Amino acid sequence: MKGVNLHLIKSFVAILADAQNGVKDPLNITVEAGDNNIAQVRITGTIQEWSRASADEVEFQIADLVKGGYKDAHIHINTKGGSTLEAVSIVNTLRKGFTGKLIAVGGAIVASAGSYIACKCDEFIVAANTQFMYHRPRMILSGTIDEIKASLKLGENTEKDYIDTYANKTGKTADAIVEAWSKGDVWLMGQEIITEKFADKLAEKEVPITKADAIILEACAAPVVLAVTTEINNSNKISKMEKSMLINALGLTADATDAQIEQAVKDAKSKADRVADLESKATIEAEAKATKLIDDLVEAAISRKAITADQKETYVKLATADFDSAKLALDAIKCAVKPEVNATSSNSAENKDNWTFADYQEKDPAAYLELLESDAAKAELLEKKHYNS
Q: How many CA atoms lie within 13 A of 6 on its CB side?
A: 8
- Cα separation of 25 and 215, whole Å? 11
Decide: 100 and 122 in contact? Cβ < 8 Å: no
More reliable by pLDDT, 83 or 173: 173
- Cα separation of 289 and 347, whole Å? 50
CA–CA–CA angle 297, 292, 146 (5° rounding): 70
In-domain check, residue 264: no
Give the model's pLDDT for residue 110.
Answer: 96
Complete DSSP assignment for 323-337: HHHHHHHHHHSPPP-
Same structural domain, 226 and 369? no
Decide which of 235, 270, 287 is a domain's last residue.
Answer: 235
In-domain check, residue 174: yes
Same structural domain, 36 and 165? yes
- Cα separation of 9 and 347, whole Å? 79
User: For the chain, what percent of residues have pLDDT higher than 70?
Assistant: 79
Decide: 11 and 49 in contact? Cβ < 8 Å: no
Decide: 47 and 83 in contact? Cβ < 8 Å: yes
Is the pLDDT at 275 greater than 50? The verdict is yes
Is the pLDDT at 20 greater than 80? The verdict is no
More reliable by pLDDT, 289 or 57: 289
Decide: 66 and 97 in contact? Cβ < 8 Å: yes
Give the model's pLDDT for residue 112.
Answer: 94
Centroid of chain to Cα 288: 25
Q: For the chain, give the mean pLDDT.
A: 80
More reliable by pLDDT, 289 or 192: 192
For residue range 124-153, what is the model confidence (pLDDT) as tens digits?
A: 999 999 999 999 988 776 778 888 888 888
In-domain check, residue 172: yes
In-domain check, residue 132: yes
Q: Helix, strand or coil for residue 296?
A: helix
Is the pLDDT at 319 greater than 70? The verdict is yes
Give the model's pLDDT for residue 195.
Answer: 97
Same structural domain, 59 and 159? yes
Same structural domain, 327 and 367? no
Give the model's pLDDT for residue 232.
Answer: 52
Total domains in the fold of the chain: 3
Same structural domain, 172 and 301? no
Complete DSSP assignment for 315-326: HHHHHHH-HHHH
Is the pLDDT at 337 greater than 60? The verdict is no
Give the model's pLDDT for residue 344.
Answer: 46
For residue range 37-51, what is the model confidence (pLDDT) as tens digits?
A: 999 999 998 887 644
Same structural domain, 195 and 287? no
Is the pLDDT at 184 greater than 60? The verdict is yes
Domain of residue 351, residue span: 336-389
CATH number at residue 198: 3.90.226.10
Same structural domain, 189 and 312? no
Is the pLDDT at 119 greater than 90? The verdict is yes
Beta strands in 93-193 (DSSP E): 102-111, 123-126, 131-134, 186-189
Within 10 Å of residue 338's Cβ, how many Cβ atoms?
A: 15
Is the pLDDT at 167 greater than 80? The verdict is yes
For residue range 77-110, what is the model confidence (pLDDT) as tens digits?
A: 999 998 888 899 899 999 999 999 999 999 999 9
Same structural domain, 219 and 311? no
- Most confident region among 2-6, 80-84, 200-204, 276-280 by mean pLDDT: 200-204
Beta carbons within 8 Å of 354's beta carbon, 6+ residues apart: none
Q: How many CA atoms lie within 13 A of 56 on its CB side?
A: 13
pTM equals: 0.56
Give the model's pLDDT for residue 2.
Answer: 42
Same structural domain, 116 and 129? yes
